[in-house]
């Protein structure tokens, strides 16, 4: 067998279904960072996100025989992660809050990336990002999942629809509705405020 690192995802899945643990290990290596990021945005907690990522791949491994080649592996594993993250958040009442602490890991990561080491800018961004994350958390699970998949993970409407089990038109409507609700929650921020939003969230307010 060729080195697993040179195989496509479809080839890795086929090998893993035949019992190759290195092949499944390579799938995990490739997709775990994105699954962790997805779970972090949906749960708002680094420990919970790590648990979701770990359980996602455990479940995927156990159910690998049920996977059909007609589907994309990443949409299948994303679906497992979204369901687990939303269930965990629903069960974890301490996540149901109206505000987001400024040490929230999502805020901390965004500030670290966008402040470029400037303490004054970091302080400004921390406040703006906390408001943005609080507004994101206030969305319904379906809207929040759609925003995370499309705006933060970069999936197309068709891909997000495959993950969430709905038509691409529904994804388009959800993005439109989420944009409206986020703008209202932030008191319709002007262009100056939008400049301080994380780059991956700017499109939510730019159309």
pTM above 0.85, yes or no: no
Kindly report the three-state secondary structure assignment for every residue of 37-103.
HHHHHHHCCHHHHHHHHHHHHHHHHHCHHHCCCCCCHHHHHHHHHHHHHHHHHHHCHHHCCCCCCCC
The string of pLDDT tens digits covering residues 86-125 is 998 877 655 455 555 556 788 877 777 777 778 888 787 7
Gap between the Cα atoms of 74 and 80, Å rounded: 10
CATH code for the part of the protein at 1-96: 1.10.1740.10
Q: pLDDT tens digits, residue range 163-191?
A: 999 999 999 999 999 999 988 887 754 43
For the chain, the domains span 1-96, 98-207
Q: What is the CATH class of 98-207? A: mainly alpha
95 secondary structure, DSSP code? G
């Amino acid at each position: 067998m060729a080195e697993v690192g040179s195989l496509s995802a479809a080839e890795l899945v086929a090998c893993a279904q035949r019992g190759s643990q290195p092949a499944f290990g390579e799938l995990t290596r490739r997709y775990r960072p994105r699954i962790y990021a997805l779970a972090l945005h949906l749960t708002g907690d680094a420990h919970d996100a790590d648990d979701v990522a770990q359980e996602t791949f455990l479940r995927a491994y156990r159910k690998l025989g049920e996977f059909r080649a007609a589907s994309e592996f990443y949409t299948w594993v994303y679906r497992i992660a979204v369901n687990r993250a939303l269930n965990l958040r629903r069960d974890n009442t301490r996540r149901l809050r109206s505000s987001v602490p400024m040490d929230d890991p999502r805020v901390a990561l965004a500030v670290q990336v966008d402040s470029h080491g400037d303490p004054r800018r970091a302080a400004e961004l921390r406040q703006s990002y906390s408001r943005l994350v609080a507004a994101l958390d206030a969305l319904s699970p379906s809207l929040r999942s759609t925003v995370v998949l499309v705006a933060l993970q970069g999936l197309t409407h068709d891909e997000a629809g495959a993950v969430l089990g709905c038509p691409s038109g529904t994804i388009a409507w959800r993005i439109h509705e989420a944009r409206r609700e986020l703008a209202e929650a932030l008191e319709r921020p002007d262009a100056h405020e939008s400049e301080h939003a994380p780059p991956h969230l700017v499109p939510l307010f730019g159309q």
